[in-house]
Amino acid sequence: DIKRIANIIRTQDILRRHDFNFKKKFGQNFLTDGNILSKITEAAELSKEVNVIEIGPGIGSLTQYLLEESAEVMAFEIDKTLIPILEETLADYDNFQLVNADILKVDLKAEIAKFKNPDLPIKVVANLPYYITTPILMALIESKIPFASFVVMMQKEVADRIAAKPNTKAYGSLSIAVQYYLKAEVAFNVPRTVFVPAPNVDSAILKMTRLDQPAVDVPDEDWYFRLMKLSFVHRRKTLLNNLQSAFGKDRKEEILGLLDRAGISPTARAESFDLEDFAKLSIALLPMKD
């Protein structure tokens, strides 16, 4: 029988004994609901042949579940006052590596080489600090480390934006930036009542699975992302308007000509464009790249 960290009595006992004070600036909302933790762990589809990266282990509530189900867990925690607590709560596990660091500042490639078996696939599982969810996610994706999947808790609105499909309010550049590399789906929603302290927002578990190759084939990725982002700058405006704002009104005829040749409507709006449409756009406008 496993003595779980994640119940409200044990959590409060740990926090009290260590005289721990929650730090708002680190987005500290700890999970105390074993049922939610089981569901997160299940969504991650772990096995003893999988290494796990966790960001922000807190007092180890989720970490404990991950340790039971995976080969090894490497956790990055920014708050040094949590280190002695984690060393106590997870003392029974020999498949745990704890790094006291800001996930945005570590050399991740060097760190993951320290897994006992660095050849196993790596999955990211975390209850992310909400104040930097998007920067963390984009940094991990752009690190080009081939994480097999991400199963992460975040603010519900952000999860909805990442998983959004065209022609919805939530759809935008973040949806495309992620869906270019990963299949994204909201696994389940989480009420604010299962955390201490309760956050001001509702949460969701987002599951993202790496695609074998990027969702679309483009000749120039930087150009693709640049055009995609600038097409969304003024959401309510037409594609032509956004392109003119970016490249200058004097280039209207040139833009119209290139769009026309590719069969792209200048009055379309970015929110109706899927990843394929943006690929087409980026190819059509390649002559404009400086």
**102 assigned binding-site residue:** yes
Q: Give the Å distances, CA to CA, from 280 to 101, 116, 227, 228, 274.
A: 41, 44, 11, 11, 10
Residue 127 is assigned to a ligand binding site: yes
Tell me if 254 is assigned to a ligand binding site: no
Q: What is the sign of the dihedral through the CA atoms of 67, 196, 79 and 140?
A: positive
| Per-position b or e across 186-217, b if 16+ CB within 10 A of its CB | ebeebeeebbeeeeeeebbbbbbebeeeebbe
Burial (Cβ within 10 Å: 0-12, 13-18, ≥19) of residue 50: buried
Q: Is 137 annotated as a binding residue?
A: no
**Half-sphere exposure of 273 toward its Cβ, with a 13 Å CA cutoff?**
27
CB 174, min distance to ligand SAM, A: 19
Smallest separation (angstroms) from ligand SAM to the CB of 119: 25
Query: In terms of CB distance, is 41 or 175 closer to ligand SAM?
Result: 41
Q: How far is the CB of 45 from ligand SAM (least distance, A)?
A: 19
The structure tokens 């919805």 sit at 168
Helix (H) or strand (E) holding 88: helix 83-89
Give least dist CB 148 to ligand SAM, A.
20
Q: Contact positions toward ligand SAM, by CB under 6 A?
A: 26-31, 55-58, 61-62, 76-79, 82, 102-104, 127, 129, 132
Is residue 56 annotated as involved in ligand binding? yes
* Binding site listing: 29, 31, 56, 77, 102, 127
* Binding site listing for S-adenosyl-L-methionine: 29, 31, 56, 77, 102, 127
